Chain A
């Protein structure tokens, strides 16, 4: 059996790449995709521990995380459409109405 720290390392890598995407990209849609990467990293950790502890609770939590991801994607993409309709841009650093 593959030791759990391998899975944790893979999760760390995916999480790190996702955070890089969120922090450095300008395109809001790609930022949302990076958030999906982060959620997948969390899911890998949950399922790895679920197998390590021989309990399905981790998988149940992973299902809730996927549900969250679906809700977040729906609302986030709705926001992007509303944003594009009003500002004609998808760049995160041009959305600075609240910035002084």
Chain B
């Protein structure tokens, strides 16, 4: 029980700390590295929540796929000039005020509403079999149409990315 809390706090501090480093580093490659650290910590949170399949997806797809894509683009785009310029836009103060209001609202809502979470049903017993099996059954039985739509969306995104990155359109 106590060990779980300690693990949760360590993972949270890692996730939040590296997230802050993501948005403050001057070099975009460093930002990408810290984003990978954040993604690993969030993967650890998934493990704590017994979402093992999602943990694997997080590592394979996010860290292995999306972050490699990011690093490729960082290398394709010349960032040396941008690294020497100002990193924050002129309206950063206004942005911070907006975010402070937003965070205040979210925390206030959580503070006022967290009693409702206590009333939530404990739910039925977890399905037998592994987490991957349960997710797979839900994906292909209850969510067949969304899966197909997601595949079409990925196809469109793939074509769109190729068209966008093409040198010249014939």
Residues of chain A touching chain B, judged by Cβ–Cβ distance below 8 Å, are 1-10, 12-21, 23-27, 29-30, 32-34, 36-37, 40, 43-44, 47-48, 50-57, 59-60, 62-64, 66-75, 77-82, 84-85, 89-93
* Cβ 8 A contact of B53, one of A1, A23, A32, A59: A59
Count of CB-CB pairs between chains A and B under 8 Å: 234
Interface string of B120-164 (1 = CB under 8 A from A): 111111110001001100110011001000100110111011111
In the bound complex, residues from chain B placing their C-beta under 8 Å from that of A63 are: 54, 57, 135, 139
* Known contacts A18-B23, A25-B87, A54-B123, then 5 further A-B pairs from the complex at CB < 8 Å, ordered by chain A residue: A10-B16, A14-B15, A20-B96, A44-B42, A78-B163
With A67-B154, A74-B157 already in contact, the answer to whether A26 and B57 are too (CB < 8 A) is: no
Q: Output the least CB separation between A94 and chain B (Å).
A: 9
Chain A interface helix/strand/loop/mixed: helix
Q: Output the least CB separation between B71 and chain A (Å).
A: 10
Residues of chain B touching chain A, judged by Cβ–Cβ distance below 8 Å, are 4-5, 8, 12, 15-16, 19-20, 22-23, 28, 31-32, 35, 38-39, 42, 45-46, 48-51, 53-54, 57-58, 61-62, 65-66, 69-70, 72-74, 76-79, 82, 85-92, 95-96, 98-99, 102-103, 106-107, 110, 114, 117, 120-127, 131, 134-135, 138-139, 142-143, 146, 150, 153-154, 156-158, 160-165, 167
Nearest opposing residue in chain A for B126, CB measure: A54
In the bound complex, residues from chain B placing their C-beta under 8 Å from that of A37 are: 19, 22-23, 35, 38
In the bound complex, residues from chain A placing their C-beta under 8 Å from that of B38 are: 14, 37, 40
Chain B interface helix/strand/loop/mixed: helix
